[in-house]
Amino acid sequence: MTTNNEAIASRAEAVIPGGLLSPSRRLGSPIAFARAAGPYLYDADGARYTDYHCAFGANVLGHRHPAIAAAINEVAENLDLVGAGVLELEVEVAELLVKAIPCADQVAFCSSGSEATYHALRLARAYTGRKQIIKFQGGYHGWHDYVAMNGQSSRQMLGSFDPMSDGILFDAARYTKILPYNDATAVEDYIRANPGEVAAIIVEPIAHNMGAVIGRDQFLRDLRRISTDNGVILIFDEVITGFRHALGGYQSIVGITPDLATFGKAATSGYPIGLVAGRRDIMERVGRTGEGAVFMGGTFNGTPSSMAAVKATVQELSRPGVYERLFELGDYLRGQINGIIARHGLRAQAAGFGSVWLVYFFDGEFKDYADLLRNDNELDMRFRRALIAGRQIFQPLQLKRLYLSLSHDQSVLNDTLELIDTTMADLARSVAA
Protein backbone atom coordinates (compact mmCIF):
# COMPACT_ATOMS: atom_id res chain seq x y z
CA MET A 1 0.00 0.00 0.00
CA THR A 2 1.37 3.41 -0.99
CA THR A 3 1.75 5.84 1.91
CA ASN A 4 0.81 9.52 1.68
CA ASN A 5 4.53 10.35 1.88
CA GLU A 6 5.28 8.11 -1.08
CA ALA A 7 2.34 9.42 -3.12
CA ILE A 8 3.37 13.06 -2.65
CA ALA A 9 7.01 12.24 -3.43
CA SER A 10 5.92 10.49 -6.63
CA ARG A 11 3.90 13.52 -7.73
CA ALA A 12 6.87 15.77 -6.93
CA GLU A 13 9.16 13.71 -9.17
CA ALA A 14 6.92 14.53 -12.13
CA VAL A 15 6.82 18.31 -11.75
CA ILE A 16 9.84 19.36 -9.62
CA PRO A 17 13.41 18.64 -10.83
CA GLY A 18 14.66 15.73 -8.75
CA GLY A 19 11.45 15.83 -6.72
CA LEU A 20 12.92 18.39 -4.31
CA LEU A 21 13.61 22.13 -4.39
CA SER A 22 17.29 21.40 -3.67
CA PRO A 23 19.41 18.24 -3.48
CA SER A 24 20.39 19.30 0.04
CA ARG A 25 16.78 18.69 1.13
CA ARG A 26 17.01 14.97 0.41
CA LEU A 27 16.51 12.84 3.53
CA GLY A 28 17.09 9.40 2.07
CA SER A 29 13.46 8.27 2.03
CA PRO A 30 10.23 9.95 0.96
CA ILE A 31 9.03 12.28 3.70
CA ALA A 32 6.43 14.95 2.94
CA PHE A 33 5.95 17.31 5.86
CA ALA A 34 2.46 18.59 6.56
CA ARG A 35 2.68 20.39 9.88
CA ALA A 36 5.23 21.97 12.23
CA ALA A 37 5.07 23.07 15.86
CA GLY A 38 7.85 23.95 18.30
CA PRO A 39 10.68 21.38 17.96
CA TYR A 40 8.55 18.95 15.96
CA LEU A 41 7.62 18.21 12.35
CA TYR A 42 4.73 15.97 11.29
CA ASP A 43 4.57 14.12 7.98
CA ALA A 44 1.68 13.42 5.64
CA ASP A 45 1.08 10.08 7.37
CA GLY A 46 0.90 11.68 10.83
CA ALA A 47 4.32 10.61 12.14
CA ARG A 48 6.16 13.04 14.43
CA TYR A 49 9.84 13.95 14.05
CA THR A 50 12.18 15.99 16.24
CA ASP A 51 13.71 18.72 14.11
CA TYR A 52 17.44 19.36 14.39
CA HIS A 53 17.60 20.78 10.89
CA CYS A 54 15.54 23.87 11.83
CA ALA A 55 15.29 24.98 8.18
CA PHE A 56 19.09 25.25 7.84
CA GLY A 57 19.09 27.13 11.15
CA ALA A 58 16.39 29.69 10.41
CA ASN A 59 14.03 28.55 13.16
CA VAL A 60 15.88 29.81 16.22
CA LEU A 61 12.64 30.23 18.21
CA GLY A 62 11.01 27.00 17.06
CA HIS A 63 8.32 26.35 14.48
CA ARG A 64 5.22 28.54 14.35
CA HIS A 65 6.24 30.70 17.28
CA PRO A 66 3.10 32.58 18.43
CA ALA A 67 4.82 35.99 18.61
CA ILE A 68 5.98 35.69 14.99
CA ALA A 69 2.57 34.54 13.78
CA ALA A 70 0.83 37.36 15.67
CA ALA A 71 3.16 40.01 14.23
CA ILE A 72 2.65 38.80 10.67
CA ASN A 73 -1.13 38.58 11.08
CA GLU A 74 -1.22 42.09 12.53
CA VAL A 75 0.71 43.69 9.67
CA ALA A 76 -1.35 41.74 7.12
CA GLU A 77 -4.47 43.55 8.29
CA ASN A 78 -3.04 46.82 6.96
CA LEU A 79 -0.31 46.07 4.43
CA ASP A 80 0.73 43.70 1.72
CA LEU A 81 3.52 44.17 -0.81
CA VAL A 82 3.87 47.83 -1.81
CA GLY A 83 7.25 48.12 -3.54
CA ALA A 84 7.33 51.92 -3.56
CA GLY A 85 8.12 54.68 -1.11
CA VAL A 86 9.16 53.75 2.43
CA LEU A 87 7.28 51.98 5.21
CA GLU A 88 7.56 53.03 8.84
CA LEU A 89 7.97 49.33 9.62
CA GLU A 90 11.13 49.23 7.47
CA VAL A 91 12.51 52.17 9.41
CA GLU A 92 11.66 50.64 12.78
CA VAL A 93 13.37 47.38 11.89
CA ALA A 94 16.45 49.15 10.49
CA GLU A 95 16.71 51.22 13.68
CA LEU A 96 16.60 48.04 15.79
CA LEU A 97 19.33 46.42 13.71
CA VAL A 98 21.60 49.47 13.67
CA LYS A 99 21.36 49.53 17.46
CA ALA A 100 22.13 45.80 17.79
CA ILE A 101 24.86 45.17 15.18
CA PRO A 102 28.27 46.76 15.93
CA CYS A 103 29.28 47.37 12.30
CA ALA A 104 25.88 48.74 11.24
CA ASP A 105 25.61 52.43 10.50
CA GLN A 106 23.02 51.49 7.90
CA VAL A 107 21.30 48.30 6.70
CA ALA A 108 19.85 47.28 3.34
CA PHE A 109 17.33 44.47 2.97
CA CYS A 110 17.04 41.67 0.43
CA SER A 111 15.43 38.24 0.45
CA SER A 112 18.16 35.68 1.19
CA GLY A 113 21.66 35.21 2.54
CA SER A 114 23.02 34.45 -0.93
CA GLU A 115 21.66 37.76 -2.19
CA ALA A 116 23.21 39.53 0.78
CA THR A 117 26.71 38.17 0.13
CA TYR A 118 26.37 38.95 -3.59
CA HIS A 119 25.48 42.57 -2.81
CA ALA A 120 28.21 42.90 -0.17
CA LEU A 121 30.87 41.79 -2.63
CA ARG A 122 29.54 44.11 -5.31
CA LEU A 123 29.66 46.97 -2.80
CA ALA A 124 33.24 46.14 -1.88
CA ARG A 125 34.33 46.10 -5.51
CA ALA A 126 32.58 49.37 -6.24
CA TYR A 127 34.05 51.06 -3.15
CA THR A 128 37.64 49.90 -3.74
CA GLY A 129 37.67 49.82 -7.54
CA ARG A 130 39.31 46.38 -7.32
CA LYS A 131 38.26 42.95 -8.60
CA GLN A 132 39.70 40.18 -6.45
CA ILE A 133 38.15 38.66 -3.35
CA ILE A 134 39.48 36.18 -0.81
CA LYS A 135 37.37 33.36 0.59
CA PHE A 136 38.36 30.32 2.61
CA GLN A 137 38.36 26.61 1.82
CA GLY A 138 35.23 24.96 3.22
CA GLY A 139 33.27 28.20 3.44
CA TYR A 140 29.91 28.63 1.74
CA HIS A 141 28.63 32.10 0.99
CA GLY A 142 25.78 31.40 -1.40
CA TRP A 143 24.91 30.12 -4.84
CA HIS A 144 26.40 32.88 -7.01
CA ASP A 145 29.44 32.49 -9.25
CA TYR A 146 31.70 34.70 -7.12
CA VAL A 147 31.77 32.21 -4.23
CA ALA A 148 30.13 28.90 -5.23
CA MET A 149 33.35 26.93 -5.11
CA ASN A 150 35.65 24.99 -2.76
CA GLY A 151 33.11 23.90 -0.21
CA GLN A 152 33.46 20.23 0.77
CA SER A 153 36.37 19.59 -1.57
CA SER A 154 38.21 16.30 -1.82
CA ARG A 155 41.82 16.18 -0.69
CA GLN A 156 42.87 16.12 -4.35
CA MET A 157 41.04 19.40 -5.04
CA LEU A 158 42.51 21.42 -2.17
CA GLY A 159 44.29 24.42 -3.64
CA SER A 160 42.50 24.04 -6.99
CA PHE A 161 39.40 25.65 -8.43
CA ASP A 162 36.57 23.35 -7.28
CA PRO A 163 33.20 24.68 -8.51
CA MET A 164 30.03 23.59 -6.72
CA SER A 165 27.95 23.62 -9.89
CA ASP A 166 28.11 23.19 -13.60
CA GLY A 167 27.48 26.43 -15.46
CA ILE A 168 29.57 28.66 -13.19
CA LEU A 169 31.16 31.41 -15.25
CA PHE A 170 34.89 31.03 -14.84
CA ASP A 171 35.45 34.64 -15.92
CA ALA A 172 33.69 35.67 -12.70
CA ALA A 173 35.04 32.92 -10.46
CA ARG A 174 38.69 33.42 -11.43
CA TYR A 175 38.84 36.60 -9.37
CA THR A 176 38.21 34.61 -6.18
CA LYS A 177 41.27 33.36 -4.29
CA ILE A 178 40.80 30.37 -1.98
CA LEU A 179 42.96 30.28 1.17
CA PRO A 180 43.05 28.06 4.29
CA TYR A 181 40.83 29.10 7.21
CA ASN A 182 42.52 30.36 10.38
CA ASP A 183 45.69 31.20 8.43
CA ALA A 184 46.17 34.97 8.47
CA THR A 185 49.76 34.63 7.26
CA ALA A 186 48.52 33.16 3.97
CA VAL A 187 46.14 36.10 3.60
CA GLU A 188 48.80 38.71 4.29
CA ASP A 189 51.30 37.04 1.98
CA TYR A 190 48.79 36.95 -0.86
CA ILE A 191 47.75 40.58 -0.46
CA ARG A 192 51.39 41.73 -0.31
CA ALA A 193 52.14 39.75 -3.47
CA ASN A 194 49.13 41.34 -5.23
CA PRO A 195 49.10 44.97 -4.04
CA GLY A 196 46.00 46.97 -4.90
CA GLU A 197 44.18 43.95 -6.35
CA VAL A 198 42.04 42.60 -3.47
CA ALA A 199 38.68 44.27 -2.89
CA ALA A 200 37.36 42.13 -0.05
CA ILE A 201 37.92 39.28 2.37
CA ILE A 202 34.72 37.37 3.08
CA VAL A 203 34.79 35.05 6.08
CA GLU A 204 32.47 33.17 8.40
CA PRO A 205 33.69 34.15 11.88
CA ILE A 206 32.62 30.64 12.85
CA ALA A 207 32.88 28.37 9.83
CA HIS A 208 29.57 26.61 10.37
CA ASN A 209 29.41 25.48 6.76
CA MET A 210 32.06 22.92 7.67
CA GLY A 211 30.41 22.16 10.98
CA ALA A 212 31.81 24.34 13.71
CA VAL A 213 35.37 25.45 13.04
CA ILE A 214 35.72 28.56 15.17
CA GLY A 215 37.71 31.48 13.85
CA ARG A 216 40.51 32.00 16.33
CA ASP A 217 40.46 35.43 17.92
CA GLN A 218 43.95 36.21 16.67
CA PHE A 219 43.00 35.15 13.13
CA LEU A 220 40.02 37.49 13.10
CA ARG A 221 42.01 40.32 14.66
CA ASP A 222 44.71 39.82 12.04
CA LEU A 223 42.14 39.92 9.24
CA ARG A 224 40.91 43.23 10.64
CA ARG A 225 44.44 44.64 10.74
CA ILE A 226 45.40 43.34 7.28
CA SER A 227 42.21 44.73 5.76
CA THR A 228 42.71 48.16 7.31
CA ASP A 229 46.38 48.35 6.35
CA ASN A 230 45.70 47.41 2.72
CA GLY A 231 42.42 49.17 1.96
CA VAL A 232 40.53 45.88 1.77
CA ILE A 233 36.88 45.56 2.83
CA LEU A 234 36.43 42.96 5.58
CA ILE A 235 33.09 41.16 5.30
CA PHE A 236 31.79 38.91 8.07
CA ASP A 237 29.29 36.43 6.67
CA GLU A 238 26.97 36.12 9.67
CA VAL A 239 24.11 34.44 7.83
CA ILE A 240 24.37 31.54 10.30
CA THR A 241 25.98 33.15 13.35
CA GLY A 242 23.84 36.29 13.27
CA PHE A 243 20.83 36.30 15.64
CA ARG A 244 21.48 32.64 16.49
CA HIS A 245 24.47 33.28 18.77
CA ALA A 246 23.80 36.93 19.60
CA LEU A 247 21.60 39.74 18.33
CA GLY A 248 24.68 41.58 17.15
CA GLY A 249 26.20 38.52 15.53
CA TYR A 250 29.49 36.87 16.45
CA GLN A 251 31.22 40.23 15.94
CA SER A 252 29.51 41.40 19.15
CA ILE A 253 30.88 38.35 21.00
CA VAL A 254 34.46 38.48 19.72
CA GLY A 255 34.69 42.28 19.75
CA ILE A 256 35.97 42.66 16.18
CA THR A 257 34.06 44.96 13.85
CA PRO A 258 34.04 44.25 10.10
CA ASP A 259 33.36 46.85 7.43
CA LEU A 260 30.32 44.97 6.15
CA ALA A 261 28.35 42.00 7.44
CA THR A 262 25.66 39.83 5.91
CA PHE A 263 22.74 38.28 7.78
CA GLY A 264 19.73 36.08 7.04
CA LYS A 265 18.06 32.89 8.34
CA ALA A 266 17.48 33.40 12.05
CA ALA A 267 16.66 37.12 11.72
CA THR A 268 13.02 36.24 11.06
CA SER A 269 12.76 32.81 12.70
CA GLY A 270 11.55 31.27 9.48
CA TYR A 271 10.58 33.89 6.90
CA PRO A 272 12.59 35.06 3.87
CA ILE A 273 15.20 37.69 4.68
CA GLY A 274 18.71 38.80 3.88
CA LEU A 275 20.45 42.00 4.84
CA VAL A 276 23.72 43.82 4.45
CA ALA A 277 24.91 45.97 7.34
CA GLY A 278 27.93 48.20 7.43
CA ARG A 279 29.77 51.50 7.39
CA ARG A 280 27.83 54.50 6.19
CA ASP A 281 30.41 55.57 3.60
CA ILE A 282 30.12 52.15 1.93
CA MET A 283 26.40 51.52 2.42
CA GLU A 284 25.25 54.91 1.18
CA ARG A 285 26.27 53.95 -2.36
CA VAL A 286 23.18 51.69 -2.41
CA GLY A 287 20.96 54.74 -1.98
CA ARG A 288 22.46 56.70 -4.88
CA THR A 289 21.83 56.91 -8.57
CA GLY A 290 24.39 57.90 -11.14
CA GLU A 291 28.15 57.66 -10.83
CA GLY A 292 29.40 55.47 -8.00
CA ALA A 293 25.97 54.00 -7.31
CA VAL A 294 25.53 50.31 -6.47
CA PHE A 295 22.24 48.82 -7.59
CA MET A 296 20.50 46.63 -4.99
CA GLY A 297 17.00 46.18 -6.30
CA GLY A 298 14.42 43.55 -5.50
CA THR A 299 10.63 43.62 -5.53
CA PHE A 300 10.50 41.68 -2.27
CA ASN A 301 13.16 43.69 -0.44
CA GLY A 302 11.53 44.85 2.78
CA THR A 303 8.39 42.73 2.38
CA PRO A 304 6.05 43.73 5.26
CA SER A 305 5.59 40.15 6.50
CA SER A 306 9.35 39.63 6.70
CA MET A 307 9.87 43.01 8.37
CA ALA A 308 7.22 42.14 10.95
CA ALA A 309 8.97 38.82 11.54
CA VAL A 310 12.35 40.52 12.06
CA LYS A 311 10.86 42.96 14.56
CA ALA A 312 9.13 40.21 16.52
CA THR A 313 12.20 37.95 16.43
CA VAL A 314 14.45 40.72 17.76
CA GLN A 315 11.95 41.40 20.53
CA GLU A 316 11.80 37.73 21.51
CA LEU A 317 15.58 37.30 21.39
CA SER A 318 16.00 40.44 23.51
CA ARG A 319 14.22 38.83 26.46
CA PRO A 320 16.49 38.22 29.47
CA GLY A 321 18.17 34.83 29.51
CA VAL A 322 17.32 33.80 25.95
CA TYR A 323 20.87 33.35 24.69
CA GLU A 324 21.99 31.87 27.99
CA ARG A 325 19.27 29.25 27.52
CA LEU A 326 20.36 28.45 23.94
CA PHE A 327 23.96 28.03 25.08
CA GLU A 328 22.92 25.89 28.05
CA LEU A 329 20.98 23.54 25.78
CA GLY A 330 23.90 23.25 23.37
CA ASP A 331 26.44 22.67 26.13
CA TYR A 332 24.22 20.02 27.74
CA LEU A 333 23.71 18.14 24.48
CA ARG A 334 27.39 18.21 23.51
CA GLY A 335 28.46 17.16 26.98
CA GLN A 336 26.09 14.22 27.04
CA ILE A 337 27.15 13.12 23.54
CA ASN A 338 30.83 13.25 24.48
CA GLY A 339 30.04 11.07 27.49
CA ILE A 340 28.32 8.54 25.21
CA ILE A 341 31.25 8.59 22.78
CA ALA A 342 33.74 7.97 25.61
CA ARG A 343 31.64 5.14 27.01
CA HIS A 344 31.60 3.36 23.67
CA GLY A 345 35.26 4.07 22.85
CA LEU A 346 34.67 5.70 19.47
CA ARG A 347 37.08 8.11 17.79
CA ALA A 348 34.61 10.97 17.61
CA GLN A 349 33.72 14.24 19.31
CA ALA A 350 30.71 16.48 19.72
CA ALA A 351 31.52 19.97 18.45
CA GLY A 352 29.70 23.24 18.02
CA PHE A 353 29.03 26.63 19.49
CA GLY A 354 25.90 27.78 21.27
CA SER A 355 22.88 26.13 19.68
CA VAL A 356 24.84 24.74 16.70
CA TRP A 357 26.15 21.20 17.10
CA LEU A 358 27.35 18.11 15.27
CA VAL A 359 29.50 15.03 15.74
CA TYR A 360 32.88 14.81 14.04
CA PHE A 361 34.06 11.23 13.57
CA PHE A 362 37.72 11.82 14.41
CA ASP A 363 39.56 12.90 17.53
CA GLY A 364 42.03 15.68 18.17
CA GLU A 365 42.05 19.38 17.44
CA PHE A 366 40.95 21.04 14.21
CA LYS A 367 41.46 24.52 12.83
CA ASP A 368 40.67 24.38 9.11
CA TYR A 369 39.04 22.30 6.40
CA ALA A 370 42.12 20.14 5.79
CA ASP A 371 41.90 18.93 9.40
CA LEU A 372 38.34 17.77 8.77
CA LEU A 373 39.48 15.39 6.05
CA ARG A 374 40.30 13.03 8.94
CA ASN A 375 36.53 12.59 9.39
CA ASP A 376 35.26 9.02 8.95
CA ASN A 377 32.55 9.91 6.44
CA GLU A 378 31.13 6.40 6.40
CA LEU A 379 30.49 6.42 10.17
CA ASP A 380 29.22 9.99 9.95
CA MET A 381 26.64 9.03 7.33
CA ARG A 382 25.61 5.87 9.16
CA PHE A 383 25.06 7.94 12.29
CA ARG A 384 22.95 10.49 10.45
CA ARG A 385 20.87 7.90 8.60
CA ALA A 386 20.19 6.01 11.81
CA LEU A 387 18.98 9.15 13.52
CA ILE A 388 16.74 10.03 10.57
CA ALA A 389 15.32 6.50 10.64
CA GLY A 390 14.60 7.17 14.33
CA ARG A 391 12.59 10.26 13.32
CA GLN A 392 15.22 12.86 14.12
CA ILE A 393 15.56 15.31 11.23
CA PHE A 394 19.20 15.87 10.35
CA GLN A 395 20.87 17.02 7.17
CA PRO A 396 22.25 13.69 5.89
CA LEU A 397 25.57 15.07 4.66
CA GLN A 398 28.85 14.58 6.48
CA LEU A 399 30.29 17.54 8.37
CA LYS A 400 27.00 19.45 8.19
CA ARG A 401 25.94 21.29 11.31
CA LEU A 402 22.72 20.73 13.27
CA TYR A 403 20.67 23.13 15.34
CA LEU A 404 18.63 23.59 18.47
CA SER A 405 15.85 26.10 18.97
CA LEU A 406 14.39 27.65 22.09
CA SER A 407 11.55 25.15 21.81
CA HIS A 408 13.92 22.22 22.37
CA ASP A 409 13.96 21.49 26.09
CA GLN A 410 16.01 18.99 28.05
CA SER A 411 13.32 16.30 27.85
CA VAL A 412 13.35 16.54 24.05
CA LEU A 413 17.13 16.26 24.04
CA ASN A 414 17.06 13.29 26.42
CA ASP A 415 14.79 11.35 24.07
CA THR A 416 17.27 11.98 21.25
CA LEU A 417 20.23 11.08 23.47
CA GLU A 418 18.76 7.63 24.07
CA LEU A 419 18.73 7.02 20.32
CA ILE A 420 22.25 8.48 19.97
CA ASP A 421 23.46 6.09 22.69
CA THR A 422 21.98 3.09 20.89
CA THR A 423 23.37 4.25 17.55
CA MET A 424 26.87 4.87 18.91
CA ALA A 425 26.84 1.41 20.49
CA ASP A 426 25.99 -0.11 17.11
CA LEU A 427 28.74 1.88 15.40
CA ALA A 428 31.27 0.86 18.06
CA ARG A 429 30.42 -2.83 17.57
CA SER A 430 30.83 -2.53 13.81
CA VAL A 431 34.22 -0.83 14.20
CA ALA A 432 35.40 -3.52 16.59
CA ALA A 433 34.19 -6.40 14.36
Stated pTM of the model: 0.95
Q: Are residues 202 and 93 in the same domain?
A: yes
Where a domain ends, among 300, 317, 334?
A: 317
Q: Clarify whether residues 342 and 379 are in a common domain.
A: yes
Burial zone of 49 (CB within 10 Å; 0-12 exposed, 13-18 middle, 19+ buried): buried
Sign of CA dihedral 382, 387, 391, 396: negative
Q: Are residue 185 and residue 334 in the same domain, yes or no?
A: no
Looking at 252, 287, 317, the residue that finishes a domain is 317
Q: Which pLDDT tens digits describe the chain residue by residue (433 residues)?
A: 889 988 888 888 889 888 777 777 788 778 888 999 999 999 999 999 999 999 999 999 999 999 999 999 999 888 877 877 778 899 999 999 999 999 999 999 999 999 999 999 999 999 999 999 999 999 999 888 899 877 787 787 887 788 888 888 888 888 999 999 999 999 999 999 999 999 999 999 999 999 999 999 999 999 999 999 999 999 999 999 999 999 999 999 999 999 999 999 899 998 999 999 999 999 999 988 888 888 888 888 888 899 999 999 999 999 999 999 999 999 999 999 999 999 999 999 999 999 999 999 999 999 999 999 999 999 999 999 999 999 999 888 899 999 999 999 999 999 999 999 999 999 999 988 7
Pairwise CA distance, residues 80 & 76, whole Å: 6
One domain for residues 155 and 274? yes
Contact 215, 205 (CB under 8 A): yes
* 376 and 305, same domain (yes or no): no
Final residue before a domain boundary, out of 317, 335, 370: 317
∠ Cα 382 387 389 (to 5°): 95
Indicate which CATH number applies to the domain containing 335: 3.90.1150.10
pLDDT value of residue 234: 98
- Residue 65: what pLDDT? 94
Q: How far is CA 89 from the centre of its chain?
A: 26
- The parent domain of residue 174 ranges over 66-317
Can you give the pLDDT at residue 235?
98
Query: Catalytic residue positions?
Result: 140, 237, 265
* Residues 313 and 334 reside in one and the same domain: no
Give me the pLDDT at residue 279, please: 97
Residue 306: per-residue pLDDT: 92
Distance CA 271, CA 127 (A): 31
Nearest by Cα to 135 from 187, 63, 69, 59? 187
- 306/360 same-domain check: no
Query: How far is 262 from 119, CA to CA, in rounded Å?
Result: 9
Same domain, 56 and 141: no
Indicate if 89 and 199 belong to the same structural domain. yes
Same domain for 235 and 251, yes or no, is: yes
**pLDDT at residue number 133:** 97
DSSP string, 132-185: EEEEETT----SSTTT-BSSS--GGGTTS--BSSTT--HHHHTTEEEE-TT-HH
Question: Are 294 and 196 contained in the same domain?
Answer: yes
Both 115 and 169 in one domain: the answer is yes
Residue 42's pLDDT is 96
Number of domains the chain is built from:
2
Whichever domain contains 167, its CATH number is: 3.40.640.10
